[in-house]
Amino acid sequence: MPSTPLNDVRELVAGDEDAGGRLDAWLAARLDVSRSRAVQWIESGCVTLDGAPARKKDLVSPGARVAVAIPAARPSDVAPEAIPLDIVYQDADFAVIDKPAGLVVHPAAGHWSGTLVNALLHQVRDLSGIGGVLRPGIVHRLDKDTSGLLLVAKNDDAHRLLSEALKQRNIKRAYLTACWGHLAEDATSVDAPIGRHLTDRKKMGVVPGGRSARTHFRRVERWRAADLLRAELETGRTHQIRVHLLSLGHPVVGDRTYAPGREKGFGGPERGWAAALARRVPRQFLHAAELRFTHPRTGREMRFDSPLPPDLAAAAEWARETSAH
């Protein structure tokens, strides 16, 4: 394994839930990097599996020990862009952003510019080098059409500590979301594994052998043909809230990926109401409203709250008024 004083060597141990996964995909998920970067590290000899040089197609078994010598950070090839950002808090260690809907978090195929990362590189100079590239240390992500609070590390130590806190479920994230129909109970939890959809690789789904996922839902308001919910994540899988609500038969209002035209499924007087709500919701009704964690340096308890943005707030007000008895 390459070893220089500038390398950041990580020691990882696979758990029971990781059994059978390919090393490149597992490594990308554990270190919050792209799969292509994980493959690059493996092929350049930076990764060992149980002390032997690793191959990207190696399978992970419970208890397997993986060592990664992450190369020293190099300048990012992502260009800074003067995109407005609502930075609700920042200090030497991290920043909290209130992300608008429609903004992609980081560059990827089809979105090489105009992202939150481009905006951060313009507005915040002292950023993390985790992953081998000087870039904002994105601790967790939000979908393009999800609004709300996002945590960004500004140095490597903070990134490591916050990422570990997220893994240990010590960063609490709660969302406001609206779902079609009504949950059977005012409070319910879903514990169902999430992985790639079995037939549509662009979607996620509740699938056997998926990664463990738990979401806690509580009804905040009961509307005529929909519920306003508070959803708290215990884990943070891709599309977790959307997939878990879909599995209950109550998909997110405005979710054009998992429930296009769902409002047409209502009969009687609720059909017209649902159609009117759908017209008022311009995107998936999902907003990251609460963020709670311990400051990685001071140990101080940090809490941030974000109200519904104007597009969702207007739809909620209409739903509330037209559902009053």
- Report, as residue numbers or ranges, the catalytic residues: 143
100-119 per-residue burial string, b: 16 or more CB within 10 A, e: under 16: ebebbbbbeeeeeeebbbbb
E strands of 181-272, at which residues?
A: 187-191, 194-196, 204-206, 214-222, 226-233
Please tell me what DSSP assigns to residue 10: E
CA distance linking residue 190 with residue 218, whole number of Å:
11
Q: Check if the beta carbon of residue 214 is closer than 8 Å to that of residue 165.
A: no
Please name every residue paired with 179 in a beta bridge, in sequence order, or none if there are none: 227, 252
SS3 assignment, position 162:
helix
Residue 286 near residue 315 (C-beta atoms within 8 A): no
Alpha carbon dihedral 208, 213, 214, 217, in 10-degree steps, equals: -90
Degrees (nearest 5) of the Cα angle 301, 238, 35? 105
Distance of CA 288 to the CA centre of its chain: 10
96, β-bridge pairs: 89, 151
Specify whether the CB–CB gap between 18 and 26 falls below 8 A: yes
